[in-house]
């Protein structure tokens, strides 16, 4: 039983549970945003859905609606999560140590040896 308790209390599992809950809540926000934008599109073109769009006898409306929804969701996720996270990572990233050239290492070794000989 202790092993199971340890497994449940691992940081990764807790973080995953929190991420799942946050994603569910964020999904509602994205859905509401998509609805608002689709309604604005509806005001411009007369209908918030493209389900009645037929091109050459082919009903492409559902595909257009799904494509617009996908682009809206992708935009919200990118600008609402990815860009801020990348900016945070860039601000908090530790600078990588500068590589020392081979001749500099040799020179430093010679200086060390000279100082050790004193």
In a structure prediction context, what are the per-residue pLDDT tens digits for the chain, which is 118 residues long? 777 777 666 667 777 888 889 888 888 888 888 888 888 888 887 777 788 888 899 988 888 888 888 888 888 889 988 899 999 998 988 887 777 778 888 888 888 888 888 7
Q: Is 29 exposed, middle or buried (0-12, 13-18, 19+ CB in 10 A)?
A: exposed
Domain CATH number, residue 60: 1.10.1200
Structural domain boundaries, residue 81: 2-116
50 in helix, strand or coil? coil
**Domain count for the chain:** 1
pLDDT at residue 87, rounded to an integer = 92
pLDDT at residue 53, rounded to an integer = 80
User: Is-contact 48 41, C-beta < 8 A?
Assistant: yes
């Amino acid at each position: 039983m202790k092993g199971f308790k340890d497994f449940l209390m691992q940081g990764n599992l807790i973080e995953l549970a929190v991420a799942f809950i946050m994603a569910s809540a964020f999904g509602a926000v994205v859905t509401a945003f998509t609805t608002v934008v689709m309604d604005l599109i509806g005001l411009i073109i007369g209908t918030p859905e493209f389900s009645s769009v037929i091109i050459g006898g082919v009903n492409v409306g559902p595909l257009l609606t799904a494509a617009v929804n996908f682009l809206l969701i992708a935009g919200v996720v990118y600008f609402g999560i990815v860009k801020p996270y990348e900016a945070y990572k860039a601000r908090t990233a530790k600078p990588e140590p500068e590589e020392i050239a081979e001749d500099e290492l040799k020179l430093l070794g010679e200086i060390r040896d000279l100082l050790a000989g004193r």
